[in-house]
Structures are given as C-alpha cells and as structure tokens.
Amino acid sequence: MASTADGRLAPPVGRPVAGGRPRPLRRRARIFVGLVAMALAGALALLVPATATASPAASTGTPTLTIVLFDTDIVLVGGRGFAPNQDITVEALTTELGGSARIRPGGDGRFLLGFQVPPGFNDTVHVTATQGSRVARGELTVGTPTTSPTIAPPTSTPSTPPATTQPTTSPPPAGGGGSPIDSRGTLSGLPWMSGVHPSNELGPYLAFGQWRGRPIDVALVFTQRDAGWGPLVEPNWPVNDFASFKGKLIISQPMYPKGQGNTAECARGAYDQHWKKFGSFLVSKGRADSIVRIGWEFNGTFMYWHTDPDPTNFKECFRRVATAIRSTDPQVKIDWTFNAHNSPVPNGGTPWPAYPGDEYVDYIGIDPYDHYPPSRDEATFRRQCEDPNGLCYAMKFAREHGKKVGVGEWGVASCSGNGGGDNPLYIRMMWQTFVANADVMGYESYYHDSLPGNVCSTIMNGGQNPKASAEYKRLWGAGV
C-alpha cells in the first residue's frame, strides 16, 4: 500500500516488468519500496538440468506454486497448471515491500518468475498468481528462521460464509452489535448513505457533492497515527473541521499508534482506557453517531496492525477496542473492513477467519478498488465480486448476519501497477451492485485521490479520469 498526504495507507502500487532484465517497481510513497521483479524465461536453461526431458503436456487442472530462494536475494516462483499462452498476474507482498509482474506461461502451462529482495531481508513473502478464475497462493520465509517452500493450491470458495463464533474472553459490548441502522441517505436522497474522501478538510467534500448534483451523507476521514495516543484518540484534527457538516463521519482508526503497540497487548486489554477516551471524545464533539472503521484492511500485510496468520489476537483486540468505545459512546457504529481481491493474512486466503463476531460489528466493510485485477469486462467484475474476498460475497454475508455493508474506499485506479485506468464500466458495475443490494447497503464513499504513485482516482470535474467522471456523474446525479 502507499501512504497518502493525509497519512492513510492506500492500495499497493507497482509496475510490471517485461523481458528478462530486472527493473525496480514504483516506490511506495513514504513507507514502502518495491520488490524488483524479473521474468526469468531467458535464464530458464540455467535452472533446468541439461538432461531434462521434454516439457510435459499442458495441464489446466488445479494451478499450484512452488517458491524457493535463489542466491539469498531472489525469490523464485514457479507455477504449473495454468492455461497456456494467457497472461498471469503475479503479486508478491511482505510487511513493508510489494511488487507485481505479468508473465505468460508456455504451451505446458508453466512459468518461472523472480522477485529480488534487498540485502539483509528477513520476512515472509506472500505470493498470489492470478489468471482469470485461476488463482494460486503460496509463501516463503526468507532469513531466520527459514521454512520449506510452500506449494499452495488456490483457496476454494465456500458455498456459504463461515459460521460466526462468539467470543468468550471479552466483556459484552455496551451497545450496537446488530441494532437497527437507518442507512438512508437523508442528504443525498439515495437509498444508502453516499460520500467521498478527497482530503481531511470539509471544503472539498462539499464541493464534490455540489459537482455531482447530490450532497454527501458521509465524510470518510483518517486520524494521525504516527504521533502517539493523543491525536489518535482525541483527533481534533480532522474532526474540528467538520463541526458544521450535517452528515456522519466515518473515522478510520488503527488499533494503536505506529510503533507503540501490538495486537497481543491490545488483546489483553492494555489499550482499553485509550479507546474509552476516544468514545468520550466523540460524544463531546457531537459525533456520537460516527462510524468507526477499526483496523481496516487488516488482511493485507502492508498495514502495521494487520492480523497474524493466526487471527486470534486480532479478533480479541478488535473486540476490546469496540467494547471500550461503546462503553463511553453507546451510539457509535463499528465497521469491520477488509481489503478486496486477496488476503495474504490470515491463514486460509480470505478475511473471514478474522471476523470478531456479530456482537462486535455493525457494518461489514470492504475496500474494492479497480485493480489486482481490474474489471475490464462484466465477467471479470462478477467473478471477483462473488469471490470470498469480494463485494458481492460480503453483501451475502451481511444479509445472512443482519448487518449493513460499508464500502469505505472504492474508485478507479489510473496509476496503480495493475489498475483499470479510466474505466467507466467499473463505475457502472459498482452502481448496479449498490442498487441491486440496496437492502443491505449502509454506505459507500468514493476515494478521490490524486497523489502520484497511488491510485490516481480523481473524477470531480473530469479529474484524472474523464470517462469514469462522466459515468459517475450521470448515475449518481440521476439517482435510483
């Protein structure tokens, strides 16, 4: 993920590398540097014994990955079982690094690709290879301790969302947890609350509503998370700037300040008093009805508060934070948001093992940008929407569990490494999905970002995406 000017973490960026010569990917703004990707087709002979037999016939069964370390700094990814001569997008993510590349397998459905890591690297590399509906995942720990290569088949799609297990270690929440939510857009006139995130100051939010011909109901904001507990749990910036805003605030909150905590301590209740203070702060500012996205996008290792492969501590931490906020602000609504498309963590390849339980959640949230992979046609959109990491699956889960859906961040992606660019089809498909699922839609907030190297999703007055802009204004202006 990249870090924007207001301090929030945004979707991963990177540039595919063509040919056999290594080339660095785009640097991740502020925090992350890209992994170097190289296609090794030209060097394949060096890795295959001279006595190797002819390549096996193409097989398009279950695709798998084999991941090994070469010369201490190159993570080699070998894949088999893919469709011949069709592009595969390979994404590698670690705690602080990320990169992607596109490669085409040979007639036998196999490929070989390398990602170069920096000197002294010590982390786990999570790899996902996607070719249409074919997905294979694997991981390799580099450094100390080392682990054997992982050969991972794609995660199977369960027919129904996983059952909710109720926690036993946290005290019961003081409010919310399935209480009725009126999610109508009282300002916009839409069946759901509709908003935007253009910055952390009120003016651009109001301007966006004026441009589209429909006021916004919700304003998505981010707190300062690199300056300790004070500005995190008493966020006068940005809350004070929205004193005259008639809609609701959606506040994205990490579970603890950067460099000052971990989910294990949080799970033991070490931060409860801080979050009780945050609840009191919301009440004092007249924002008791805010929606709080606790530890959003936890299923990507680019977030410092991400869940571990074993989600036990994350789930208990989420419960503690939600309970503490509700103890001093019973009106607050709690949002559990995951990043769409893939889940390097927790184990299982989907976010659902990290679900904290119905008692602790009001909104099932998802951030489904048009990338990794982009929706260049309706079939691709529907396929990833129905995936367990997708929007449609989240809507089904919300409906079965009596929750509302929050789409806190969504937008086209014109400068992401695997983005769909100025894509009006994506805008139209998102609108149709919202309308078709209006019964569970709680809110949606377009992420209006112009930062170079991030997603470049601006649409107001044409922005960076004039075609998407025209489609958005047409649909949202006309309404349901």
Domain at 52, CATH number? 2.60.40.10
Q: Which of 58-67, 179-188, 336-345, 391-400 has the lowest mean pLDDT?
A: 58-67
- CA–CA separation, 61 and 311 (whole Å): 31
Is the confidence at residue 145, as pLDDT, over 70? no
Q: Indicate if the pLDDT at residue 147 is higher than 80.
A: no
pLDDT score recorded for residue 91: 77
Crossing angle of helices 424-436 and 391-401, rounded to 10°:
10
Residue span of the structural domain in which 263 resides: 193-478
Residue 46 forms part of a structural domain: yes
pTM here?
Answer: 0.67
Same domain, 91 and 201: no
Q: Same domain for 53 and 201?
A: no
Asked if residue 158 is part of any domain, the answer here is no
| Same structural domain, 124 and 200 | no
pLDDT of residue 96: 59
Total residues belonging to the chain: 480
The last residue of one of the domains, among 142, 157, 178, is 142
Residues 25-83: tens digit of each pLDDT: 222 332 333 444 444 433 332 233 222 233 344 445 688 899 988 878 888 899 889 89
Q: 414 and 422 in contact (C-beta within 8 Å)?
A: yes
- Is residue 383 within 8 Å of 133, Cβ to Cβ? yes
Does 374 share its domain with 457?
yes
Q: Which pLDDT does position 390 carry in this prediction?
A: 98
Residues 198 and 117 in one domain: no
Say how far apart CA 160 and CA 138 lie, in whole Å. Answer: 24
Residue corresponding to tokens 């050969």? 151
Render pLDDT for 94-126 as a digit per residue (tens, 0 to 9).
765 666 677 888 888 898 888 788 877 777 887
Whether 181 maps to a domain, the answer reads no
CATH code of 439's domain: 3.20.20.80
